[in-house]
Structures are given as C-alpha cells and as structure tokens.
Amino acid sequence: MAKDYEDTKAAQGAIDALKLGSVCESMAISGTVIYTSGEGAVIENLTIDEKKLAIRFASYISSEGKTDLTLQKLIDSYNANGDEFRDYNAWYGGEIGKKNADYYTDAVKKALDKFLNVKTLDSASVEQVEEAIGFVEEALEELGDDTVTENNLAAISKWMDGAYNDEPEEEN
C-alpha cells in the first residue's frame, strides 16, 4: 500500500510538471522550476518572451474572435487562473492552436523582413513585432481571412510581396 501511495504521488508530480510545462509554453515563460505542487510552482529566473506571447495572443484573438480580450487581461487572468487564461491555454495546447500560432509567427517574420527590414525575430523589438502583427492583420483583412493557417500563409506572403496590393497594370 505504501508503494502504491508513493507511485501515485510520483505520478501526480509528473502530471503537475506536464501541466506547468503546457502553461509555460503557452505564456512563453522560461526559467528554472524549483518546486511544483497542485497549487502552483516556484520558478527561479522567470522570464516572459514578450514577442512570442504577443504573436501567440494575436493568433488566438484572430482565430477565436476575442476582440474584447487584451494581452493585459490575459496576463491578469493567468495570474488569477481565470477563465480567459484557461480558454487561451486550452486553445494553444489543442490540435490547432499551436500550429496556427506557428503559422502566425511565420507571417510576422515575413512582415518584419519585408516592411521593417528586421531579419530575425530575435533582433526585433517588442514594438517592431507589434507593428508586424498590424501588417499581418491588414493582410488578413484584405484577404478576407480571420487568422493565419497553413492554407492561407502563402497568400499572406504574396500579399506582403505586393501581389495583392499593387495597382493593376494598364493595358496598352
């Protein structure tokens, strides 16, 4: 019986760690985990990659139509383990959420390069990433799409290259 208890306790610790890993990934958190429990975790040297979080959040609100949600509200909900955070975390951890966030990241990288002459996401500032997100949103609006997916990433890229926003050529 004692062995079963220890095995159950170890399994619960592993489940807690997996849940924490999912949360950390969705919120772009990194650091060294010192302690976990069912109630939370202690993370040393905690950092949030604001650029990645901004992109993931933009992908979420565009795909889910959450126009009333702000990034600050999401962060506040994360701190309180609120409904908005749980919905976002479930979306990101789901089959489509992370994939669409990755496609959205590709579109932001293209916008950074094309419109802001920033060659990598790492070298971009948070403000430049937010500006690039604006270009992605403009492309989505012009193309009549809600969010970046595998199916429309090429069209968004073409739009950014000018295939959709150039004036039509006059025939002679």
Mean pLDDT score across all residues of the chain: 83
Whole-number pLDDT of residue 31: 77
List the one residue out of 113, 149, 146, 148 whose CA is nearest residue 128.
Answer: 113
Structure tokens at 22: 């999912």
- The C-alpha torsion from 126 through 128 and 133 to 137, rounded to 10°, is 150
Whole-number pLDDT of residue 15: 39
Which of 7-16, 27-36, 113-122 is predicted least confidently? 7-16
* DSSP-H helix ranges across the chain: 2-26, 50-64, 71-79, 83-93, 97-116, 126-143, 153-161
Q: At residue 100, does pLDDT exceed 50?
A: yes
Whole-number pLDDT of residue 18: 39
Q: At residue 170, does pLDDT exceed 90?
A: no
Whole-number pLDDT of residue 1: 53
**Alpha-carbon distances of 120 from 61, 139, 158, rounded to whole Å:** 24, 20, 19
Q: At residue 69, does pLDDT exceed 90?
A: yes
Top pLDDT among 93 and 40 is at 93
Whole-number pLDDT of residue 12: 43
